[in-house]
Chain A
Amino acid sequence: MDAAHEFLRNLALVFCVAGVTTLIFQRLRQPVIFGYLFAGFIIGPNTPIPLVADEGIVRTFAELGVILLMFSLGLEFSLRKLIKVGPAAGAIAVGETSAMMWLGYLIGRALGWSTIESVYTGAIIAIASTTIILKAFSEQGLRERFTRLVFGVLIVEDLIAIFVLAILTTISSGEVLTPVSVLATARTLVMFLAGLIGIGLLVVPRLIRLIMKLESPETTLVATIGLCFGCALLALTFGYSVALGAFIGGSLVAESGHGRAIEHLIRPVRDIFGAMFFVAVGMLIDPALIMDHIGAVAVLTIAVIVGKVTFVTLMSVLTGQDVRTSVRTGMSMAQIGEFSFIIASLGLALGATGQFLYPVAVAVSAITALTTPWLITASDPVAALIDRKLPRRLQMFVGLYGTWFERMQHGQPTPGTHRRTIRKPALLLLLDAALLLGLIITTALELPRLTALVAGSTGLDPRVAARVVIGIAVFACAFLCVGIWRVNLRVSSELAWRAFAPPGRGVDYAAAPRRALQVTLQIVVLVLIGLPLVALTQPFLPLFRGSALLVALLGILGIAFWRSVSNLHGHARAGAEIILMALSKQMKDDDSDQDREPELERIRQALPGLGEPVAIRIVPEAPCVRRTLAELNLRGRTGATVLAISRNGEDVLLPNGHEALLAGDTLFVGGTQRAVSAARALLVKGGTV
Chain B
Amino acid sequence: MESHAFLTNLALVFCVAGVTTLVFQRLRQPVVFGYLLAGLIIGPHTSIPLVADEHLIETFAELGVILLMFSLGLELSLRKLMRVGPTAGMIAVGQCSAMVWIGYVIGRAFGWTGVESIYLGAIIAISSTTIILKAFAEQGVKQRFTRLVFGVLIFEDLIAIFLLTILTTISSGAALTPGAMLATAVRLAAFLAALIGVGLLVVPRLIRLVIRMDRPEPTLVATVALCFACALVALEFGYSVALGAFIGGSLIAESGHGRDIEHLLQPVRDMFGAMFFVAVGMLIDPGLIAANIGAVLVVTAAVITGKITSVSIMAVLTGQDVKTSVQSGMSLAQIGEFSFIIAGLGLSLGATRSFLYPVAVAVSAITTLSTPWLIRWSGPVAGMVDRRLPHRVQTFVTLYGTWFERMRRPAAGTEPHRSLRRPFMLLLVDAALLVALAITTATQHEHWAARVAAELRIMPGIAYAVVLTVAVFAGGFLCAAILRVAARTSAELGRRAFPPPGVGVDFAAAPRRALTVTLRIMIIVSLGLPAVAITQPFIPLFRGSIVLVLVLAVLAIAFWRSVTNLRGHARAGAEIILMALSSQMSDETEDEEGEGRLERIRDALPGLGEPVAVALRDGSAAVGATLAEINLRGRTGATVLAIGRTAGDVLLPAGRERLAAGDTLYVAGTPRAVGEAKEVLCARAPGPVDSADGRSP
Contact = CB atoms under 8 A, between A and B. Distances in A.
A56 B14 CA distance: 23
Contacts of B18: 219, 222-227
A15 B221 contact: yes
B215 interface: yes
B691 interface: no
B518 interface: no
A226 B17 contact: yes
Interface string A674-686: 0000000000000
A202 interface: no
B366 interface: no
Nearest to A349: B1
A5 B26 contact: no
B168 interface: no
Interface string B4-37: 1011101100111111011001100001001000
B221 A275 contact: yes
B77 interface: no
Contacts of B14: 222-223, 225-226, 229-230
A18 B241 CA distance: 21
B134 to A, nearest CB: 9
Contacts of B50: none
Given A8-B228, A229-B14, A268-B267, A18 B63 contact: no
Interface string A226-239: 11011011001000
B199 to A, nearest CB: 14
Given A214-B26, A222-B271, A3 B7 contact: no
Interface stretch (A58-66, A189-197, A525-533, A581-589): A58-66
Contacts of A233: 7-8, 11
A267 interface: yes
Interface residues of A, number: 54
Q: Chain B at the A interface: mostly helix, strand, loop or mixed? A: helix
B193 interface: no
Interface string A7-32: 11101100110110011001100001
B11 A4 contact: no
Interface string B199-243: 000000000011001011110111011101101100100000100
Contacts of A268: 216, 220, 264-268
B225 A226 contact: no
B584 to A, nearest CB: 59
B3 A216 contact: no
A266 B271 CA distance: 10
Contact of A222 (B21, B58, B266): B21
A60 B218 CA distance: 22
B3 A267 contact: no
A222 B222 contact: no
B274 interface: yes
Contact of A63 (B7, B224, B226, B348): B7
A32 B6 contact: no
B11 A271 contact: no
B25 A214 contact: yes
A8 B248 CA distance: 15
Given A5-B235, A64-B6, A225 B218 contact: no
A549 interface: no
Given A64-B7, A223-B18, A275-B221, A269 B267 contact: yes
A12 B210 contact: no
B368 to A, nearest CB: 15
A210 B21 CA distance: 13
A23 B3 contact: no
Contacts of B217: 22, 32, 271, 275
B58, B59, B63: most-surrounded residue (chain A CB, <10 A): B59
A8 B232 CA distance: 7
B59 A4 contact: yes
B2 A56 contact: yes
A265 B22 contact: no
A216 B271 contact: no
A14 B31 CA distance: 31
B59 A3 contact: yes
Contacts of A210: 22
Q: Chain A at the B interface: mostly helix, strand, loop or mixed? A: helix
A269 B266 CA distance: 9
A26 B215 contact: yes
B66 interface: yes
A83 interface: no
Contact of A219 (B2, B6, B22, B218): B22
Contacts of B10: 64, 225, 229
Contacts of A474: none
Interface string A384-411: 0000000000000000000000000000
A227 B15 CA distance: 7
Nearest to B223: A19
A29 to B, nearest CB: 10
A63 B9 CA distance: 13
A643 B229 CA distance: 69
Contact of B25 (A62, A216, A265, A266): A216
Contacts of A382: none
A241 to B, nearest CB: 12
A369 to B, nearest CB: 16
B62 A1 contact: yes
B55 interface: yes
A35, A222, A229: most-surrounded residue (chain B CB, <10 A): A222
B222 A23 contact: yes
Contacts of B599: none
A22 B223 CA distance: 12
Contact of A236 (B4, B58, B66, B267): B4
A224 B267 CA distance: 11
A317 B58 CA distance: 57
B14, B26, B213: most-surrounded residue (chain A CB, <10 A): B14
A216 B29 CA distance: 12
Contacts of A232: 7, 11
B591 interface: no
A63 B18 CA distance: 21
A94 to B, nearest CB: 32
B15 A226 contact: yes
Interface string B537-570: 0000000000000000000000000000000000
Interface in A41-77: 56, 59-60, 62-64, 67
B590 interface: no
A62 B215 CA distance: 22
Contact of A59 (B3, B16, B226, B231): B3
A242 interface: yes
A217 interface: yes
Contacts of A63: 3-4, 6-7
Contacts of B232: 8-9, 12
Interface in A265-303: 265-269, 271-272, 275
A11, A217, A268: most-surrounded residue (chain B CB, <10 A): A268
Contact of B21 (A26, A219, A267): A219
Nearest to B209: A23
B11 A230 contact: yes
B270 interface: yes
A271 B220 contact: yes
A218 interface: yes
25 contacts: A8-B62, A12-B228, A15-B224, A15-B228, A16-B229, A19-B218, A19-B222, A22-B221, A22-B222, A23-B222, A27-B213, A35-B218, A60-B2, A67-B7, A214-B22, A219-B25, A222-B14, A222-B274, A223-B21, A225-B271, A226-B17, A227-B15, A233-B11, A236-B7, A268-B265
Interface of A: 1, 3-5, 7-9, 11-12, 15-16, 18-19, 22-23, 26-27, 32, 35, 56, 59-60, 62-64, 67, 210-211, 214, 216-219, 221-227, 229-230, 232-233, 236, 242, 265-269, 271-272, 275
Given A23-B222, A26-B213, A227-B15, 5 more contacts: A19-B218, A63-B6, A64-B6, A217-B270, A223-B22
Which 4 residue pairs spanning A and B have beta carbons closest together?
A226-B14, A226-B18, A15-B225, A229-B11
